[in-house]
C-alpha cells in the first residue's frame, strides 16, 4: 500500500470531506473553514493511496498554548483501515514538532468509535468531556491530547 501525504488547500480538503458520509454537512464551506482558522498558523493535508485522494486533515493553532489543534480529519470509506489516518497524524506530529509545538489536542465525539480507538492506541489521553444542552452521551465531545 503506497500512502503519500501532501500539504494542500482548503478547496481540496473540502472536496474530500463532501464524500465522507459522517462528516459531510452543508455548512462545511471554504468560508466557514477560513473563519474557523482565522489568521492562525494552519496545516491542510491530503493523503493519497496509490495516487488516489483518500483522506484529509485540517489543523490550526487554535489554543495558542503551545499545542497544535487537529480540527478535522476523515478518510473515504473505501480506503479505511489501511493506515491513512495513521499516516496523516504522523505527518502532523512531525510537522508540528518541527514548528515548535509541544503537543496535539483534538475533540471528537463518543459516537466516533474508530477515532477513539485510534486515539487510545496512539497515546492520547482523555482530558475533558463537553456536554451541550440535552445531548445524548453519544454526542458528548471528548477532548483528547498528547505530548509531542
Ligand X SMILES: CC(C)(COP(=O)(O)OP(=O)(O)OC[C@H]1O[C@@H](n2cnc3c(N)ncnc32)[C@H](O)[C@@H]1OP(=O)(O)O)[C@@H](O)C(=O)NCCC(=O)NCCS
Minimum distance of ligand X from residue 85's CB (angstroms)? 3
Q: How far is CA 109 from the centre of its chain?
A: 12
127 is a contact residue toward ligand X (CB under 6 A): no
**Which CB, 37 or 39, lies closer to ligand X?**
37
Number of Cα atoms under 13 Å in the Cβ half of residue 38 = 5
7, 52, 114, 138: which one binds ligand X (CB under 6 A):
114
Give the whole-angstrom CA distance, residue 75 versus residue 56: 7
Binders of ligand X in range 8-47 (CB under 6 A)? 20, 22-23
x/- contact string, 80-109, with ligand X (CB under 6 A)?
A: xxxxxxx---------------------x-
CA-to-CA dists, residue 76 to 10, 34, 37, 39, 44, angstroms: 17, 23, 23, 29, 16
For the CA atoms of the chain, what is the radius of gyration? 15
Contact residues: ligand X, CB under 6 A: 20, 22-23, 73-75, 80-86, 108, 112, 114-115, 117-118, 121
Amino acid at each position: 500500500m503506497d500512502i503519500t501525504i501532501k500539504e494542500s488547500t482548503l478547496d481540496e480538503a473540502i472536496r474530500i470531506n463532501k464524500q465522507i458520509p459522517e462528516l459531510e454537512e452543508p455548512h462545511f464551506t471554504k468560508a466557514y473553514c477560513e473563519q474557523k482558522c482565522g489568521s492562525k498558523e494552519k496545516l491542510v493535508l491530503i493523503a493519497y493511496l496509490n495516487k488516489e485522494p483518500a483522506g484529509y486533515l485540517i489543523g490550526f493553532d487554535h489554543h495558542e498554548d503551545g499545542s497544535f489543534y487537529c480540527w478535522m480529519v476523515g478518510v473515504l470509506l473505501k480506503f479505511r483501515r489501511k493506515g491513512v489516518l495513521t499516516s496523516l497524524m504522523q505527518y502532523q506530529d512531525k510537522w508540528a514538532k518541527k514548528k515548535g509545538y509541544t503537543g496535539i489536542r483534538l475533540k471528537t465525539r463518543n459516537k466516533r468509535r474508530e477515532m477513539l480507538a485510534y486515539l487510545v492506541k496512539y497515546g492520547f489521553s482523555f482530558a475533558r468531556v463537553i456536554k451541550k444542552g440535552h445531548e445524548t452521551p453519544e454526542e458528548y465531545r471528548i477532548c483528547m491530547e498528547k505530548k509531542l
